Amino acid sequence: MSNNKIQVTVKLFAAYQEAYGTSELILEFPQGTPVIEVRDRLIQEHPELSQWRDITRFGVNLQFVEPETLLNDGDEVVLIPPVSGG
């Protein structure tokens, strides 16, 4: 069986962007990966993001999605932590 990978573009905002120092990442995952795994991988690489674990929303291809939504090759993923403002 072949090693089937997908590649997604991850747009970073707020705390995620600050942690990575960039506004976009290109990441590879196995086929059948849910969008929540993107968040978990970023938190694993930058543990200071763990405070946002339970309150981050997910978007795929400009639509809000549930954490269990499966990713496809070429998807654009957005992780949306809460934003404060006045």
What percentage of the chain carries pLDDT values higher than 90?
A: 88
Q: What pTM does this model have?
A: 0.90
User: For 24-45, what is each residue's pLDDT tens digit?
Assistant: 999 999 999 999 999 999 999 9
5-80 sits in which CATH class?
A: alpha beta
| Domain layout of the chain by residue ranges | 5-80
Distance between CA atoms of 18 and 12, rounded to whole angstroms? 9
